[in-house]
Amino acid sequence: MHKFFPIQLLLLLLVAFQVSAQNPPQFQIHSHNDYLQTVPFWTAFSAGASSIEVDVILKDGKLMAAHEIASIDPKRTIESLYLDPIAEGIENGLISSINFHLLVDLKTEAYSTLEVLVESMKNYEDILYSTDNPDGLKLIISGNRPTSEDYKNYPAWMLFDYQSKELSTDLPWAKIGMVSLSFRQFSIWNGKGRMVEDQRVKLQNFIDLVHSFDKPVRFWGSPDSKSAWKAFHEMGEDYINTDYPIDAADYLSKLGENVYQNTSKHEVYQPKLEVDGAEVPMQNVILMIGDGNGLAQISAALFANDNQLNLTQLKNIGFVKTQAADDFTTDSAAGATAYATGEKTNNRAIGVDSEGNSLNNLPDILDEYGFSSGVITTDQLTGATPASFYAHHPERDNSDQIAAYLPKSKLDLFIGGGGDSFASQAENLENAGFNLVEKLEPTDADRIGYFAARGSLPKKLDGRGDYLLNSTTFALDFFEQKKSPFFLMVEAANIDSGGHANSTSTIVSEMLDFDEVIGKVLQYVDAHPNTLLIITADHETGGVSIPQGDIASSTVELAYHSDDHTGIMVPIFAYGAHSGDFRGVYEISAVFHKIMKLVEKYHDN
C-alpha cells in the first residue's frame, strides 16, 4: 500500500479531524460522483459524508474509477482512490472509525465486474464489515446489479442499492443497503423557492414508504442548492445527494443556529397617530438605538411575532447612511458619536473628531437648554454607544479612561452593566450628585445611577428578563417627575451580538425585546404629544438575509454574509412631534442636526 499523502490531502485531513471530533450530525450526505472531486474520498470524509460514490468500469481486469471508457486514467482505480487511502488512514490513525460506506456504481456488466471486485477486496479484509468486525467498511452496489435473488450470494460486506418504486415485504431487505430513485420521477423542481405541493407530497410519501421498511433513501438527479438541501433534510431524505459535500455539510450543520422558532410573542400597541408629525413645540427627545439592527433583523422579528411589531406601525420612515470618517463600514463608536455630536469620526473613537479633539455631545449641549438627559443600555456603560453620550476618548476599549468621564458628564440618569469598570469612580459619581441605587424604585433623587451588573448583562434568552422595559419605564417616570424637557437614549445592544455570532435566536429575541420597549415608549408619546421618538441603528451587523421562514409557526431562517458590521443603510423610524422631518435618505450625522434644529426652534439657551 502507498504510505505517502500529498500535502493537499493532509490539509483536508486536518478538517476531517475537526469533523470527526464533533457530535454526529443530524443529517447524512451522499457525495455524488466523488471520484470527480479534486481530492477524491478525503473531500467527502472531511465533510463527514456518510455515503461516498465511485463509478467503476471493469477494464483489462482492473476496476477503473470512471464514468465511461474514454475518461479512464490508468492511475485512478477504486483501490488507489478509495481502498488504499481508507486502509492507510485507519493504519495511521487518521480515520478513527468507519462511519461511511462506498456506493459503487457499476458501469460494466454486473456479474463479471463483481467477480473482480470480490477478488480485489481480499486484500482489504481487515477493514471490511463482517460478523467479527461489525464496524467495518460496507460497499453498496449500484448501477448494474445482479438480480435481487442473487444478492444473498455475495459477502456480508456487500449490500445493494434497490431502485424501484415497487416495495414489498418479500424483497431481500437484509441485503439492501438503501433505496435510490431519480428525483425526476417525483418532481421537476429546480431547487429555487419551494417545491410544488403535490410533487412534494409524492416525494414525502415515497420517503415514508422506504422508512416503513427501515431502510434509508436517496434521490439522484436532485437539485443541489441550499434550499434543496434544507427541504430534503426536513423531509427525512437519509442521504442528501450533492456534488458539494463540504458546502452542504457546512450549511446543514448550521441550520440549528440559523433557524429559530419564536415561542414568546408580545401584543402590539396601536399608536393613535393623532400627534404623529404634528408641528407642535418639541419638549422631549427619545432616541432608541438597536445596535446592529438592519432591515433583515427587523423583518425577522416581524415574521416571528405574528407578522406585526410595534415598530412597523410607524409611518415616518427613512434610511441612514452609516459610513465613518475613515472607513466605509462604521463601528458602534463612530456611529454613536455621529448621533451624539453631529460629526463623523474615525472608527473606535468616542466623542472626539477625526483629529482627536473633544466634541460636545447631546447631553452636554442640551443641558444649556434646560434639558435633563439619560442613557440606558443592555451593554456595559463603557460600551461604545452609551459612552459616546458622555465620554471623549480616541479608543473605545480603554474602559478605565472612559469611565472617568461619567462623573463629569451632564447626564442625570444612567442604567446599564459594567459596574466593575466604575469601582474607582464611585466616590466621584456620588460627589457629582449621583445617587447610586441598588434597584430601580421611585425616588426623589436629582441624579440616578444604576449598575445592573458588575460585568455584562445576560442575553434575553439567558435570563435578562424585562430589564430593558423596566429600566425605560423607570426612566420615563423619573424624567416626568423632574418636570423639565429631557433627552433619553435607549440602546438594545445585543442585536449586534447576534449578528457577530451569526445567531438567529439572539437576533430575533433581542429585537423582540427591543420592540416591547418601543411599544411602551409609543404609549408615552401618545400621552405626551410634545415628545419626539426616533428609532434607528448605528449600523447593520452580519450581512443578514432571510432565505426562508414560516409566519404561521413564527419560524425564520437567517443567512449571513459576514460576522462583522456592513455598510448597508439602516432604517430610521420617527413618531410624535415633527416626526416627518426624519423621512428621506441622509447621513448618520444628520440626525443630530435635525434634533438640534428643533431644539433651537423651541428652546432658549
Q: What is the DSSP string of 454-499?
A: SSPPPPGGGTTTTHHHHHHHHHHHHHHHHTS-EEEEEEETHHHHHH
pLDDT at 2 over 50: no
- Between the CA atoms of 499, 501, 506 and 512, what dihedral angle is there, to the nearest 10 degrees? -10
Under 8 Å CB-to-CB from 534, ≥6 apart: which residues? 285, 286, 287, 288, 572, 573, 574, 582, 591, 595
| pLDDT score of 26 | 86
Hey, which residues are catalytic here? 332
- Please give the angle made by the CA atoms of 199, 204 and 206, to the nearest 5 degrees: 100
**Grid coordinates belonging to 162:** 434497490
pLDDT at 580 over 90: yes
What tens digit of pLDDT does each residue of 285-309 get?
999 999 999 999 999 999 999 999 9
Residues placed in the known binding site for Zn(2+): 291, 496, 500, 538-539
Confirm if 374 and 396 have CB atoms less than 8 A apart.
no
Confirm if 546 and 298 have CB atoms less than 8 A apart.
no
Centroid of chain to Cα 565 = 13
The residue to which cell 421537476 is assigned: 188
| pLDDT score of 6 | 52
- 28-256: what fold? TIM Barrel (3.20.20)
Percentage of the chain lying above the pLDDT 90 cut: 94
Residue 398 burial class via C-beta count within 10 angstroms: exposed 0-12, middle 13-18, buried 19 and up: middle
What tens digit of pLDDT does each residue of 532-570 get?
999 999 999 999 999 999 999 999 999 999 999 999 999
Cα–Cα distance for residue pair 539/83, rounded to 1 Å: 52
Find the mean pLDDT for residues 510-532.
Answer: 98
Q: Which amino acid is at 380?
A: Q
Domains 28-256 and 278-527 are alike in CATH topology = no
Direct distance between the N- and C-terminal alpha carbons of the chain, in angstroms, rounded to an integer? 88
- Burial annotation 13-44 (CB, 10 A radius, 16+ → b, else e): bebbeebbeeeeeebbbbbbbbbbbebbbbbb
- Burial annotation 85-123 (CB, 10 A radius, 16+ → b, else e): bbbbbbeeebbeebebbbbbbbbbebeebbeebeebbee
The yes/no answer on whether domain 278-527 falls in CATH 1.20.1090.10 is: no
- Tell me the domain boundaries of the chain: 28-256, 278-527
pLDDT at 14 over 90: no
**Grid coordinates belonging to 585:** 435618505
Which DSSP helix (H) or strand (E) runs through 601? helix 590-602
- Between the CA atoms of 299, 302, 303 and 306, what dihedral angle is there, to the nearest 10 degrees? -170
